[in-house]
């Protein structure tokens, strides 16, 4: 996949493309990432990319011309059929289903804004799709672009290598994750749940499924609304909710 990011702060993307899962994907040439800085396409000597809003009001807007030219330059860096995706607070909320859709593309152009955002005519002319990370205020689109890239690249064949974690991940199951424990067996009086130590793998699978269902039901009930739980899932969730009395912290209780 070829990705071009249009940004006034291209340096923000450099360490992102160097480390961890994304860094490895770049190294292995499973993805090509480039940045295009609209300031380089400004027409005046000062490299002006912003201007004051018509109608008044606070803040500055991003001008059409430098961004339109930068996006045209970005088009030459990605395959035909790569959509131009603006990161804006007004966009569709990014989720795992969107990540799966993007992972099937040959490439994409991500456009990150700053200040109060874009002149609307740029969006009308040059944007195929707007994405948001959710209802909170960022200082610009770069962090959102990195989140979109990260979630998308993880779904490309070969990117995760041996860790086939992507398929078993929360959200591919549609549920929140179950709790995890590693050594030591007891810390600050808190023990690892017995079932995880006993070696009964069917019991462990059931316990994890039950925890995942229970936590999803308590913390993110909207994720379960669409789901039609099977008979085992319904029984496990009923058990979880039954066992959850005030004061019963079950396996997580301190041992003193």
Active site amino acids? 89, 116, 154, 169
Based on the shown chain and the rule CB under 6 A, indicate whether residue 54 belongs to the binding site for ligand 9D3. Answer: no
Q: Which part of the chain contacts ligand 9D3 (CB under 6 A), choosing from 13-21, 77-85, 129-137, 156-164?
A: 129-137
Measured CA to CA, the distance from residue 95 to residue 105 in angstroms comes to 16
Closest among 219, 220, 162, 208 to 181, alpha carbons compared? 208
Measured CA to CA, the distance from residue 164 to residue 193 in angstroms comes to 25
Q: Which residues pair with residue 32 across a beta bridge?
A: 2
Q: Which residues pair with residue 86 across a beta bridge?
A: 111, 130
Q: Which part of the chain contacts ligand 9D3 (CB under 6 A), choosing from 32-40, 135-143, 161-169, 236-244?
A: 135-143
Q: Name which position in 47, 53, 83, 140 contacts ligand 9D3 (CB under 6 A).
A: 140
> Binding string to ligand 9D3 for residues 88 to 127, with x set by CB under 6 A, is what?
xx-----------------------x--xx----------
CB of 18 to ligand 9D3, least distance (A): 23
* Under 8 Å between Cβ of 34 and 3: yes
Question: Contacts from 233-238 at CB under 8 Å and sequence distance 24+?
Answer: 233/209, 236/206, 236/209, 236/210, 237/210, 237/213
Based on the shown chain and the rule CB under 6 A, indicate whether residue 49 belongs to the binding site for ligand 9D3. Answer: no
CB of 123 to ligand 9D3, least distance (A): 12
Binding residues among 55-94 for ligand 9D3 as defined by CB under 6 A: 87-89
Q: Which part of the chain contacts ligand 9D3 (CB under 6 A), choosing from 30-38, 75-83, 101-109, 138-146?
A: 138-146
CB of 140 to ligand 9D3, least distance (A): 5
Q: Which residues pair with residue 62 across a beta bridge?
A: 50, 118
Residues that bind ligand 9D3 (CB under 6 A): 87-89, 113, 116-117, 132-134, 136-138, 140-141, 144
């Amino acid at each position: 996949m070829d990705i071009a990011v249009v940004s006034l702060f291209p340096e923000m993307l450099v360490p992102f493309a160097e480390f961890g899962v994304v860094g490895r994907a770049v190294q292995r040439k499973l993805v090509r990432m480039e940045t295009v800085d609209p300031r380089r396409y400004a027409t005046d000597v000062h490299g002006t990319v912003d201007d004051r809003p018509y109608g008044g009001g606070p803040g500055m807007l991003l001008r059409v011309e430098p961004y339109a030219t930068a996006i045209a330059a970005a088009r030459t860096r990605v395959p035909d059929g790569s959509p131009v995706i603006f990161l804006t607070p007004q966009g569709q909320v990014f989720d795992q289903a969107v990540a799966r859709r993007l992972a099937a593309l040959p490439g994409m152009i991500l456009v990150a804004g700053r200040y109060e955002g874009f002149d609307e005519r740029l969006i009308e002319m040059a944007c195929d799709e707007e994405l948001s990370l959710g209802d909170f205020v960022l200082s610009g689109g770069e962090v959102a672009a990195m989140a979109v890239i990260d979630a998308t690249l993880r779904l490309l064949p070969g990117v995760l290598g041996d860790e086939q974690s992507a398929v078993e991940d929360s959200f591919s199951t549609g549920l929140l994750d179950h709790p995890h424990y590693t050594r030591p067996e007891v810390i600050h009086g808190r023990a690892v749940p017995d079932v995880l130590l006993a070696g009964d793998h069917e019991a462990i699978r059931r316990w994890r499924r039950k925890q995942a269902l229970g936590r999803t039901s308590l913390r993110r009930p909207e994720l379960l609304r669409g789901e039609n739980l099977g008979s085992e899932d319904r029984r496990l969730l009923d058990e979880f909710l039954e066992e959850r009395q005030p004061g019963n912290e079950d396996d997580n209780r301190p041992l003193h």
